[in-house]
Amino acid sequence: MDPDDKFPQNAEEYLRQSQTIRAKAYETALQNFQKLVSEMKDYSCHIHSFRIQGTKRTRQSLFESVVNPALGAKTFSSILNEVNIAADKLQRLDIFQYPIYVDFDSSKDPLAQPNAIDVLLSVEEKSRFWIKTGTEIGNDAGSANISLNIRNVFGGAETLEAFMSASTQTSHVFEFCLAKPINGNPDSKIDITAFSLTRNNQNFSSHDEILRGVALRWRGLSRLGFHELSYGSTWRQVCNIAQQATLSVRESAGHSLKSSLIHNFVRDRRDDIMLPSRGYYLRLFQEIAGLGGDVCFLKAETESQLNFPLGKGFILSTSLRNGILFQTDGQKSKISDRFFLGGAQSIRGFKLNGIGPREEKKDSLGGDIYVAGGLSLFTPLPKLHQHPVKGHLFLNGGSLLQLNPSQPLLKSIKGLRRAPSVSAGIGIAYRSSILRLEVNFCLPLLATTTDKLQKGLQLGLGFNFW
């Protein structure tokens, strides 16, 4: 009826047609290009010049180390490949805006040999300073944090970070970290950190712990997974012993200096960190202390998790963890080094760190050796298929002991079987965008008289569930 109606109809039609034409043209161009590239795959040529445009602060040596492998390429396809890898590396160094433009051209230089190629990368440097604020929840603690960052400090993609955080469990954290990629490789970084933090352990162990330390650390990827190797010294101070603290906690007050070498390995092949449906996770941790300082021990910990999809939305998840802290100087271990067990994220049905050695039902003292395992079955819930909510049936168990220096190690290990703490229950698990939430009805099945139980409803909030 309205004569104007026709125009938009025509316009739409026209637009659609032009789009199809353009798409077709793009497709054919791409096909031609691919054909050209595949034809030229083995075409021998070399890079004559490699120019990078748009850098202000970045040093040439960084580019040299990133670009160097490309310069040796002898065929067209390998040049394409290497230049792409170099561009990708530069992108992941996190100092340039996305995307980095790559241009190839036959060399314009009159002195160039035939088959020479000029490569031009156009980059734009990211702003140098940035501030990040955030909140985190995990291990029954909430925290707010702020970090101040300087990018590309000395022009070699170094990052400098000052991090501050305040929370319910750790009263305050201050961390300063200067990191540098090795040879311009974003997957291999070396950093030096200094930190100071106060840990509030009043809830389960009636003391505060102040840690101050420095560490030199390498983080990188191997074919197996992520590695972290660090050497550091930490001054630990167990202080602010509560008036009602048990004697063992009071006697463990004091200063100690740990100087140790740590290796941490993580291989994570899960499809999701918080509520995985398939894949496995493995973490191996080793620590040797006693290269200076006044604590000497060997510490090892393994964590593993396996997830099987059973079909129709059912998922079976199993986890197994164990750890050992062995004093090499025959002294009693320090409370700061020991393991703690129990809580909504580890062994459900028990209070946070509610399993293991304890005095007068009050303060957890921590243990030197532990084994813990869990079996969870996640089920689909009716009418909630499209939401990340699952029903949850679980069986958790574990045991935590102190080693007696006068006893043979094997005997202590056998003791782990004597008094396990086991619980089972049912509940729901919800995976939100930032954390996983669990509400479970827990029944402790086996327990020691000193364990702190959490019968009935238990709420779990966090990222990392066993």
Partner 1 sequence: MESSTVPSSTTSQTWRNNLNNNPILQTVRQFLSKFPLKTYKPLCKSNELYGPRLYIWGPGWKVGQRTSFDQECLKWQTYLKIAQCDFDIRDANEPLMSPSGKLPILILSEGEVLIDELIKNYVEDTKESNKLGQLSEEQQADSQAFITLADTKLRHALLYTLWCESSNECDTYEKYGRRYANPIDKILMYQAKNAAIKEMLINIPVLNRDDIYHEASDALQALSVALGDNPYFFGQRLPTFIDAVVFSYLHIILEFPVTSANDLNQLVNKHKNLVEFTKRIYTEYYEQEF
CB neighbour list of residue 214: distance below 8 Å, 6 or more residues apart: 192, 193, 194, 195, 232, 233
3-state secondary structure of 97: coil
As measured in angstroms, the least distance from the Cβ of 424 to partner 1 is: 10
Half-sphere exposure of 241 (CA within 13 A, CB side): 15
Residue 333 to residue 252: CA distance in whole angstroms:
10
Q: Is 353 left (phi over 0), alpha (psi -120 to 50) or beta?
A: left
358 makes contact with partner 1 (CB under 8 A)? yes
Q: Which residue in 284, 450, 463, 464 binds partner 1 (CB under 8 A)?
A: 450
Chain positions 205 to 264 lying near partner 1, rule: CB under 8 A, are: 235, 237-239, 241, 243-244, 246-248, 250-251, 253-257
Choose the stretch contacting partner 1; rule: CB under 8 A; options: 39-47, 151-159, 376-384, 413-421. 413-421
Min CB(334)–partner 1 separation in Å: 12
**Which one, 259 or 322, has the nearer CB to partner 1?**
259
Taking CB under 8 A as the rule, does residue 428 contact partner 1? no
Continuous H helices in 58-118: 60-71, 76-92
b/e for 225-255, b at 16 or more Cβ within 10 A? eebeebbbbbbbbbebbbeebbebbeebeee
Measure the CA–CA gap between 163 and 53, rounded to whole angstroms. Answer: 33
Nearer to partner 1, 195 or 285 (CB): 195
Name the residue nearer to partner 1 (CB basis): 64 or 360.
360
- Contact flag: residue 440 with partner 1 (CB under 8 A): no
Q: How many CB atoms lie within 10 A of CB 292?
A: 11
Nearer of residues 376 and 454 to partner 1, judged by Cβ: 454
Minimum CB distance to partner 1 smaller for 99 or for 254: 254
- Entry field: residues in the chain: 466
Return the residue of 445, 461, 463, 464 that touches partner 1, per CB under 8 A. Answer: 445
Could you tell me whether strands 46-53 and 116-122 are parallel, antiparallel, or unpaired per DSSP bridges? parallel
Number of residues located near partner 1, criterion CB under 8 A: 41
Q: In angstroms, what is the minimal distance from the CB of 263 to partner 1?
A: 23
Each residue 328-357 as x (binds partner 1 by CB under 8 A) or -, in order, gives: -----------------------------x
**CB–CB of 305/281 below 8 Å?**
yes
Closest-CA residue to 351 (of 359, 340, 336, 337): 340
Candidates 211, 377, 395, 453: give the one binding partner 1 (CB under 8 A): 453
Please give the residue ranges that form the binding site for partner 1 (CB under 8 A). Answer: 235, 237-239, 241, 243-244, 246-248, 250-251, 253-257, 292-294, 357-360, 365, 401-402, 415, 418-419, 443-450, 453, 455-456
